[in-house]
Amino acid sequence: DQQVKQNSPSLSVQEGRISILNCDYTNSMFDYFLWYKKYPAEGPTFLISISSIKDKNEDGRFTVFLNKSAKHLSLHIVPSQPGDSAVYFCAASTYYNFNKFYFGSGTKLNVKP
């Protein structure tokens, strides 16, 4: 039973344009969400997070939006750069076990020069 879903396995965008990566979840107990970025042959690295008390968090070119009623979050990258090409994982945890994360299957982003 996959509680965090990323339905787009891949996404291709032009350099300078916006990249939008989507994530859906089913567990209403999730109260914290993170995005990880993964390059080939490396482990995932933390990118940005959002608490359920917020609906938006911004860090430079990266913004995460949370829609609790729809159980949906998205990661916006503006402007996209070739170095952003990687696999992006969405992850979620609950308030009662905040160290246990459930991961989506990932979206491979390709930013074309």
Partner 1 sequence: EAGVAQSPRYKIIEKRQSVAFWCNPISGHATLYWYQQILGQGPKLLIQFQNNGVVDDSQLPKDRFSAERLKGVDSTLKIQPAKLEDSAVYLCASSLEEEVDRGHRRGQFFGPGTRLTVL
Q: How far apart are CA 81 and CA 92, in angstroms?
A: 26
**Measured from the CB atom, is 47 or 111 closer to partner 1?**
47
Q: How far is the CB of 65 from partner 1 (least distance, A)?
A: 17
Cα 27 to Cα 1, 4, 20, 32, distances in angstroms: 11, 8, 22, 11
**Measured from the CB atom, is 45 or 67 closer to partner 1?**
45
Burial class (CB in 10 A: 0-12, 13-18, 19+), 19: buried
**Measured from the CB atom, is 9 or 16 closer to partner 1?**
9
Q: How far is the CB of 102 from partner 1 (least distance, A)?
A: 8
Which residues contact partner 1 (rule: CB under 8 A)? Answer: 4, 6, 9, 32, 34, 36, 41-46, 49, 51, 89, 91, 93, 98-101, 103-106
- 72-93 exposure pattern, b = at least 16 Cβ within 10 A, e = fewer: ebbbbbeebeeebbbbbbbbbb
Q: How far is the CB of 3 from partner 1 (least distance, A)?
A: 11
Q: How far apart are CA 101 and CA 71, in angstroms?
A: 16
**Measured from the CB atom, is 61 or 101 closer to partner 1?**
101
